[in-house]
A and B are shown apart, each in its own frame.
Chain A
Amino acid sequence: MSDAVLRAASLRKTYPSGDRVLAVLTGVDLTVAAGESVSIRGESGSGKSTLLNILAGLDRPDAGELFWAAEAAHRLSLGDLTARRGRFLGMVFQSYYLIPELDAYGNVLMAARMVGGVGATERARAAALLQRVGLDERAGHLPSQLSGGERQRVAVARALMNRPHVILADEPTGNLDERTGDEVIGLLLEVCAEEQAALVLVTHNPAHAKKTARSLLLHAGRFA
């Protein structure tokens, strides 16, 4: 698949659990095209977060291949993956993980700081992204002054700051009420489409999964 932006083949991952070895991923194959949205559902402990961590290059598979665009990410060291991660993908977490000492604008701009310098272009983009997620008037507020939904919107803007190829979202509505969660998922899908970023969404919510172009179910360590 020539326009695949993210490709995983036969991913396997085990964890030691006492005397036993727990097989979390038993052969996952996944291909995500540029700009495509894919949701992954599964029971708790089915390996959704483990898969997302491996796709993000935060964890290594025991076996299998991972490609970030054309680059064989499984052959890169963790240090090399870290160096490429900031530009290649953005992440949205359930608990937002905003830096409490920085305001909303500072948090969004932080993504650009970590991959290079911050100039007028980056500042303008951070402001535009905050405006796009409806927080232009809250740009100067600290995370502690924002609601859960607002914090997650900031996290979405931060994930898109470096124009990544892929957004990996790990249960981004897990800490939000239903209505706010719906709004955040709607916003995430919209801005990913506008930015032409592929979206891999891990969620428990079938309604949210239905909104993506493709929905996958992870069961017994592989896609059903």
Chain B
Amino acid sequence: MPWPIYLALKQLFPSGRRLPFFTIISILGVGLGVALMLVSTSVMGGFGHQIKRMIIDTQGEVQIRGRQPMETSAAVESAIAGVPAVAASAPYAQGVVMVEYEHRPAFPVIQGFDLARIRKVVPLERYLTAGSFDDLDDDSVILSSLLASSLGVSVGDKVSLYTPLMLERMKRNEVLLPREARVAGIFRIGHQQLDSSTVLCSLRLMQDLYGLRQLVHGYNVRLQPDADPDAAAAALNRALPPVASALTWFEANADFQAVLSFERNMIFFLLTFIIVVAAFSITSSLLVTVVRKTREIGLLGAMGGGARSVAACFCCQGLFIGVGGTVAGLGLGFLLLHYRNAAVHFIASFTMGQEVFVKFYQFSDLPAHTAPRDVVIIVVFSLIAATLAGLIPAWRAAKLKPVEALRSE
């Protein structure tokens, strides 16, 4: 082992002695920075991943949207079926209704699906917490959990549905009769927005409520397991008539995804400063070491150690602190990620309570998704920062003349 590396290791981790305070603090500084970057990027990645999963589970990977309400014609159906990447598709229509139960109103989004086909596209049964999807017919609805809770509704109760079409009739002084619908089930996806204001029903009921006759607003499309959504959407757009266009789940929510990506990058950028501050701390401590060990540096010169080797010794110390801090930070970060929900619930129990947490932060559990690319970026960044931190002390040490260093007091 070259002596600069050997000596750097010995100075940071001396055998037979306690770990120097400088080593502990420096490694801790880098480690905390790495851990925070890992946790924050993983949690932000988790939000993105969960949102992606929820979007796909409720819309499919690709959504075909009509420029106007469109017919479920054979031309459209065959165009969709002709794309090999498509596994299944189901027409949908959606709008807004007023739901009332015992004088308690709510204004959720209502989505109507072709009950015979929707199960092959979106796995709604997975999210049912009460009732059964099999009980859903043209006279019943499935409510999201928070909506059902706010209305005080259980499975089997009947709710009243009011639509904009009814308001049009009311303007014409027609009698306003709401549509009664039995609650066939309650679902919970885990996203506050969807769980608080969504009603699912049959396509026929939705077409009745909105006076759509046989028209639909589009199709939800499920792709084959390894199909590329971008390529599939492009193929669908080539095959579809001009009245409709296909969007991937990402394009359909592009603004939201852009905001999420921006937030994630900003948090990553801001947290890099923790490592930068830790690097400055390493620089400061190593500069003190250079002053404290001036005569030792002179000795190294007297023993035949060149200026470059002396500099390499201090650069190596920065690098080893970076390696130690990165390993410790990754360990701490993954540990925090493993116990993140326990930690968040513990903190929430002291500050706002679990329900408030769910209400405002939209997720009942803190999601996390660690992308290997993010880990690589964090590791490389922290190693470079810590190594660069050793450069100024290394330069100062290399500049010392052995004869003057040996004479220093």
Contact = CB atoms under 8 A, between A and B. Distances in A.
A58 B403 contact: yes
B14 interface: yes
Nearest to B306: A82
A5 interface: no
A16 B109 CA distance: 89
Given A99-B296, A101-B11, A58 B303 contact: no
Contact of B10 (A82, A87, A102, A115): A102
B78 to A, nearest CB: 76
B406 interface: yes
B144 to A, nearest CB: 64
A84 B303 CA distance: 10
A62 interface: no
B17 A101 contact: yes
B19 to A, nearest CB: 11
B269 interface: no
A101 B3 contact: no
A80 B191 CA distance: 71
A83 B304 contact: yes
Given A99-B7, A110-B3, A87 B304 contact: yes
B317 to A, nearest CB: 12
Contacts of B302: 56, 58, 85, 91
B14 A101 contact: yes
A142 interface: yes
Nearest to B302: A91
Nearest to A82: B306
A115 B302 CA distance: 12
A82 B307 CA distance: 9
B300 interface: yes
Interface string B176-202: 000000000000000000000000000
B295 A97 contact: yes
Contacts of A91: 302-303
B253 to A, nearest CB: 57
B403 A86 contact: no
Contacts of B402: 58, 82
B304 A85 contact: yes
Interface magnitude class on chain A? 20 to 34
For the residues of B in contact with A, the DSSP-based class is helix
Contacts of A101: 7, 10-11, 14, 17
Nearest to B16: A142
Contacts, number: 68
A59 B403 contact: yes
Interface in B352-409: 401-403, 406
Nearest to A102: B10
Contact of A95 (B7, B295, B300, B307): B295
B256 interface: no
A93 interface: yes
A79 interface: yes
B10 to A, nearest CB: 5
A53 B403 contact: yes
B16 A114 contact: no
Interface in B303-329: 303-307, 309
Contacts of A83: 304, 306
A68 B271 CA distance: 57
B166 to A, nearest CB: 84
Contact of A114 (B14, B15, B17, B305): B305
Nearest to A54: B403
B303 A86 contact: yes
A102 B306 CA distance: 20
B16 A103 contact: yes
A113 interface: yes
B301 interface: yes
Interface string B63-76: 00000000000000
Nearest to A145: B16
Contacts of A59: 403
Contact of B299 (A79, A97, A113, A140): A97
A135 B211 CA distance: 101
A140 B406 contact: no
B3 A114 contact: yes
A18 B303 CA distance: 32
A140 B306 contact: no
Nearest to A85: B304
B6 interface: yes
Given A85-B303, A85-B304, A101-B17, 8 more contacts: A53-B403, A82-B301, A82-B304, A95-B295, A99-B296, A101-B14, A114-B304, A115-B304
6 smallest A-B Cβ distances: which pairs? A86-B304, A101-B14, A113-B3, A58-B403, A97-B299, A101-B10
